[in-house]
Structure formats: C-alpha cells, structure tokens
Structure 1
Amino acid sequence: MKIAIIDDEQQAREDLQQALQLCGIKNVIQAEVQMFTSGENFLQVFKPEDFQLIFLDICMEGINGIKTALAIRQQAERLPIIFLTSSADYALEGYQVFPAGYLLKPINRAVPQLKDILHHCLPDLMANIINVQRHGRMLQINIERIAYIDVQGGRRVGGRRGSVIHLQTGETMAVDTSYTEAATALEQRDFVECYNRLMVNLAAVETLMADSFVLKNGEQLPISRRLYRETAHEYMEYLLRK
C-alpha cells in the first residue's frame, strides 16, 4: 500500500505518520508513506495508480484541500481521500468529492477515529488487490494499476509458464503465476479476454476500434474476430455501469 499525506504543517504530517504506526493495522503499518507540503507539489507527480489512500489537509496555502481533491477526482473517482481539518465547519463543502472520512486536528488525539475510518476503507482497498507469485515470493498488485495481462515474455517456472502483467504506466512485470490463475482472479473485476491469452482492463481503454482496443497509454491491443461481439458487449456494459 502507498499512502500520501498532504499538509503544509510539518508537525501535522509527522503526527499523522506516527498515528498510522499506532493504528495496529498491518497493511497500514507496512505501507510506504510519501509526504507533500502542498496540493501543487502533490498534483505535479500524482498518478492514480501510484496511491491507494490519500490524507489531505483542507486549509493550505495556494491550492486548498477541496480544490486539490477535485483535481484528484478528475483522474481517480474512487481513490479514498481522508480530509484533515482543524474545524468541522469545512465538512459540508468537502462532501462534494465524496471523502472516505474526516480527521479533526490534532491528529494524535484522533487515533480511535483514524482506526474506524481505516477499517471502513480497507475492505474496499484489499478487494482491489491481486496476489501473484514472483521469484518465489508473494506480491500484491493494485488492480487499477494493470492495463492488461498476457503470456508474451513469460518465464517457465517449475514446468509451467508464467504470465506478464502490463501496468498502465507502460512497465511490464513477468510473474510466476500462470495466465489462467491470474485471469481467473481478474474475470469478475471489469477485465475481459479480447484475444487468446490476452485480458484487458476495461478501465484502461480509451477507444473501441473495429478490430482492437486503443488504451489510454497509447497501446493498441487486438480483438479476435471470434471474441469481438462478446468483447464489445462487455465494454458497452462497462461504460453503462460507469
């Protein structure tokens, strides 16, 4: 898990990081935490697939927390945002971005509240994780980071072939987990097999063509004639749900 803390007060950032360590939740304690001093600094580097949880101060110099959250929502509709505030008066305004919760400063007095919010968020966060084997070790990958999976370049491990996970950033990751195992884990998650041993994340698709998908990162994936009608139907159903 990767967590962002965005607050222009150093003490508030440090208090929250310490509170996360005291919350007693393994996935949170082991998470990678990145600190940002302003909404501008965060938005300059923000990619939806890079973070699973965001803590965001409402009152900051420059772009305030509400405007920062609105910019985040343009790229990530479901990414959990937890607002930090010194006054409950800002709560109503913040609800337009559907936050996962509010923490009232000082944070070191809000650890029980933090635990409640995290317990509420974590089932949804963990539901977006796929477990794969890589070099004999278990690896968790956020499903929203995946553009597609296939077997091109996959290694043979223990007499069977692994698969390749292609991230939306363009990076590739060869894993020991077979294509069949990975596809089974993803088939109920808005992924569809559009070609033989090639399964695409419909959320990564920019355009449906006559014989292919064009992805948001510019890649083009073929759609087989045999699977085209079913694939197009699944994509249209996905668009209607969204």
Structure 2
Amino acid sequence: MKKHQLDYTLTEFEDGENFLKAAAQINFQLVFMDIYMENMDGIETSRRLRRKSKLCKIVFLTITEDYARLGYSLSASYYLLKPLSSHQADFEEAMELCQLKSPHEVMTLSVMADRQTLKLPTDKILYIDHQNRVTRIHTAERVIPVSGGFQEVTAALQKDKRFLACYRGILINMDHISHVDSQTFRLINGEELPISLRNRKQLREVYRQYVFSGMEGIV
C-alpha cells in the first residue's frame, strides 16, 4: 500500500453481515472482498453494498475465476486469484487501477413532479420509462411520475455511459443490472426489462463492454 502512496486504515471483518453493519455507518473507499464466506458470500455482500454506495472500490479475492463476470457486473475494480503471493503482478495492477479509476461524480437529474422541482441523484435511478403518455422514474424506493416527454426527461443522461436505451421508451441504469439473458435485463430489485429485438446483439455487447470496463480502469 505504501508503494502506491495510499493513506489507509485497515479493518477486518469475519463475515459479510458484520461488514455491512459497519458499512451502514462508514463510507469505505476500498474493499478486498473474499467470495467464499459463511452465511453470506462475497457476491451477495457486494450487491447489498452497491445499493448503498456506487463509489466504493471493490477488489474480489477468490481461488477460482468462475465468478469473474458476475463480480464485474457489480462494478468491481479488479478480480484477484489467491494465493496473492503467486499473483503479485495482478495485485500491483489492481492497486494502480484503484488509484487511477475515478468513480462517477454524484450527479443529479432535475425534474418536475407534482408541480415541484426534484433533484434526484442519478445513481439512485434504476430506469426511466414512458407508458400511457406518462414518463416515470423508477428508484429502489418509489416510482415517480414526472412532467415532460421521455426524450426531454432523459436528454441529460444520453451522454452518461451508465445509461442504456434498451428498448423503446426505456432507459436503464446498467449499474443496477444483476443478470442478462437472451431477452431481458434483470435488475437488482428483481424487475426484468426487455431488450430490443432489432438491436439485441449490439445492446448486449454495450453492456458486456461496460461490465468489463473496470478491468481497464474505464468508467
């Protein structure tokens, strides 16, 4: 750590549950997460952490590559194989990425709802859709009908790499996708959104590139 000029305080936890209790009170900047843990594995622990924080950098530690893709779907900075003594070069690269990788700034989206201006943190938005002539913003806590057409409401997010127009009238935040299959994106809250049939291959590739961008230090 000193080699990479990181000023740090190291805290260890026996399991994911104890870590999450602490994470509810402390904004950790970097977490080394073992995938195989009792009671709650590292993937589920990280998924719950991501509901609270999109900025914390996660480096997964494990003995197998089986969970690599799922790990990067949680915007992990790196995926290290144990023992670390046999993968020192990978550890050095992970530390470099943790220094260079800049997380998304906390941005807000200004919208009109119930004749009031709301400023919603964009990292809290699961997706935006347009149904029955109403544009709605979906978060984990609520669904917000807003004034304005779909294009007008989503215009400010079109250049944000996190957001993907996966279907006509649907803009999804890829940070909240937990699984993708041939026809749908599944969100961390269990909802499933359709993938456009015409652009399915291209959309899946965009998501794949976004998932693995963490390996290259790209946000």
- The TM tier, using the shorter chain, reads 0.5 to 0.7
Quick check: 1:164 aligned with 2:136?
Answer: yes
What's the TM-score once normalised by structure 2's chain length?
0.52
Secondary structure, counterpart of 1:166 in structure 2: strand
**Which residue does 2:213 correspond to in 1?**
241
Task: Name the one with the larger helix percent.
Answer: 1
- Root-mean-square deviation (Å): 3.7
What percentage of residue pairs aligned between the two structures are identical? Answer: 22
Structure 1 residue 234: Cα displacement: 1.3
Secondary structure, counterpart of 2:199 in structure 1: helix
Check conservation: 2:54, 2:123, Cα contact below 8 A. no
Q: Which moved more, 1:198-207 or 1:171-180?
A: 171-180
Report Cα offsets for 1:204-238 as digits up to 9, x if no partner.
Answer: 10111101001111111111211212211210121
Structure 1 residue 44: Cα displacement: 8.0
Match of 2:128 among 149, 156, 166: 149
Q: Which runs of 4+ in 1 moved over 6 A?
A: none
Structure 1 residue 241: Cα displacement: 1.6
Note closer, same or farther for the CA distance 1:44–1:175 as it changes in structure 2 (3 Å cut). Answer: farther
Report Cα offsets for 1:37-69 as digits up to 9, x if no partner.
Answer: xxx7x93894xxxxxxx8x5xxxxxxxx87x98
User: Within 2, Cα distance between the matches of 1:181 and 1:43?
Assistant: 40
Note closer, same or farther for the CA distance 1:196–1:235 as it changes in structure 2 (3 Å cut). Answer: same
Structure 1 residue 143: Cα displacement: 0.7
Secondary structure, counterpart of 1:194 in structure 2: strand
Check conservation: 1:135, 1:175, Cα contact below 8 A. yes
**Which residue does 2:113 correspond to in 1?**
134
**What pairs with 1:82-121 in structure 2 (closer than 5 Å)?**
none
Structure having greater relative contact order (Cα 8 Å, sep ≥ 6): 2
User: Within 1, Cα distance between the matches of 2:191 and 2:181?
Assistant: 13
Check conservation: 1:134, 1:177, Cα contact below 8 A. no
Larger of the two Rg values belongs to structure: 1
**Which residue does 1:78 correspond to in 2?**
55
Q: Which runs of 5+ in 1 are unaligned?
A: 1-39, 47-53, 57-64, 81-97, 99-122, 154-160
Structure 1 residue 187: Cα displacement: 1.8
Note closer, same or farther for the CA distance 1:192–1:135 as it changes in structure 2 (3 Å cut). Answer: same
User: Within 1, Cα distance between the matches of 2:23 and 2:112?
Assistant: 29
**What pairs with 1:1-242 in structure 2 (closer than 5 Å)?**
43=21, 46=24, 56=26, 70=31, 74-75=49-50, 76-78=53-55, 124-125=105-106, 128-152=107-131, 161-169=133-141, 171-189=142-160, 190-242=162-214
User: Within 2, Cα distance between the matches of 1:235 and 1:144?
Assistant: 17
Secondary structure, counterpart of 1:218 in structure 2: coil
Secondary structure, counterpart of 2:202 in structure 1: helix
User: Within 2, Cα distance between the matches of 1:151 and 1:195?
Assistant: 11
Structure 1 residue 164: Cα displacement: 0.1
Secondary structure, counterpart of 1:233 in structure 2: helix
Note closer, same or farther for the CA distance 1:240–1:149 as it changes in structure 2 (3 Å cut). Answer: same
